[in-house]
Amino acid sequence: MEFPFDVCRALRPGNDGIAIIRSKDCNTREVCEIIDAMGNASAKAQGLRAVITTAVRFFSSADTALYIKIEGKRVVGILKTGYRKLFYSDEMGRISEITPLCLLDFYVHETLQRSGHGKELYTKMLQVSGVQPNKIAIDRPSPKLISFMRKHYGLCDYIPQNNNFVIFREYFRVISI
Ligand code: COA
């Protein structure tokens, strides 16, 4: 997606073309414009009635991070995460409370999907947050994201929850040393 200003100057990405913005950071008019436009496009791509990512909501939330991929003069995609307190029901109906890092929004521009940009954003998020893929909960994953998680991380098995978050069974895997 193109903007009528220099997106690199506005976002200051690293050498990998990915900028990381945190909700406690200061915002600028240009950064807000990028977040609103990409948030809108993401909601449309997912067929959602309400936009999940807006600049106002992002900068007023606690402890949320936005990863933005830039290529040349274009913004390619966004990925948003934050910690959320969730109730998890296992197959016996036993409820437990967990606070995982959650994937809250994820979008790559239509013309650039299936070219590895999504994997680059996801890899960066895992590196920066220091969280393993099986420990991420996903808010309302789309069929494309279900396919993405199976392909790149071998994750596909989960118990449907009332809260629409997907927590893979692997979340509870105990790693023996
Ligand atoms: N249909 C089915 N699977 C798709 C897909 C599509 N149109 N686009 C991407 N995928 C999945 C597949 O597993 C694909 O592997 P394949 O091409 O071998 O089948 C894999 O993602 C490609 O990985 P990558 O190129 O790194 O992903 P991406 O850059 O396309 O980004 C998404 C993945 C999900 C962010 C992107 O497709 C997107 O923005 N989709 C629309 C919005 C959305 O559904 N967001 C998820 C919100 S929960």
Binned at pLDDT 50, 70 and 90, residue 45 comes out as: very high
Q: Is 141 in the pocket of ligand 1 (CB under 6 A)?
A: yes
Torsion angle in degrees (nearest 10) through CA of 24, 29, 34, 35: 40
Tokens of 55: 């600049």
Q: Is 117 in the pocket of ligand 1 (CB under 6 A)?
A: yes
- 176 CA distance to ligand 1 centroid (A)? 33
Note the pLDDT of residue 173.
Answer: 79
What average pLDDT does the structure give for the chain? 95
Q: Is 164 in the pocket of ligand 1 (CB under 6 A)?
A: no
Average pLDDT over residues 90-114: 96
- 87 CA distance to ligand 1 centroid (A)? 28
Q: DSSP character for 73?
A: T
Q: Is the pLDDT of residue 3 over 80?
A: yes
State the pTM of this model.
0.95
Pick from 146, 16, 34, 143: which is nearest to 80 by CA? 34
**Looking at the chain, how many residues does it have?**
177
Note the pLDDT of residue 167.
Answer: 96
Note the pLDDT of residue 175.
Answer: 59
Q: State the Cα–Cα distance between residues 10 and 77, nearest whole angstrom.
A: 15
The model's pLDDT over 116-174, given as tens digits with 9 standing for 90+, comes to: 999 999 999 999 999 999 999 999 999 999 999 999 999 999 999 999 999 999 998 76
Q: Is the pLDDT of residue 176 over 60?
A: no
Task: Identify each DSSP E strand in 10-164 by its residue range.
Answer: 18-22, 64-71, 74-83, 86-89, 95-98, 101-108, 136-139
Specify burial of residue 101 (Cβ count, 10 A radius: 0-12, 13-18, 19+). buried
Note the pLDDT of residue 177.
Answer: 59
The model's pLDDT over 75-100, given as tens digits with 9 standing for 90+, comes to: 999 999 999 999 999 989 999 999 99
> At a CB cut-off of 8 Å and minimum separation 6, what does 170 contact?
134, 155, 157
> How many C-beta atoms lie closer than 10 Å to residue 57's C-beta?
14
Select from 114, 117, 136, 164 the residue to mutate for testing ligand 1; criterion: most ligand atoms less than 8 Å from CB.
114
3-class DSSP string for 102-137: EEEEEEECHHHCCCCHHHHHHHHHHHHHCCCHHHEE
Domains observed in the chain: 7-172 (3.40.630.30)
Q: Is the pLDDT of residue 16 over 60?
A: yes
Contact in structure between 132 and 126 (CB atoms under 8 Å): yes
Question: How do 74-83 and 86-89 pair as beta strands?
Answer: unpaired
Binned at pLDDT 50, 70 and 90, residue 26 comes out as: confident
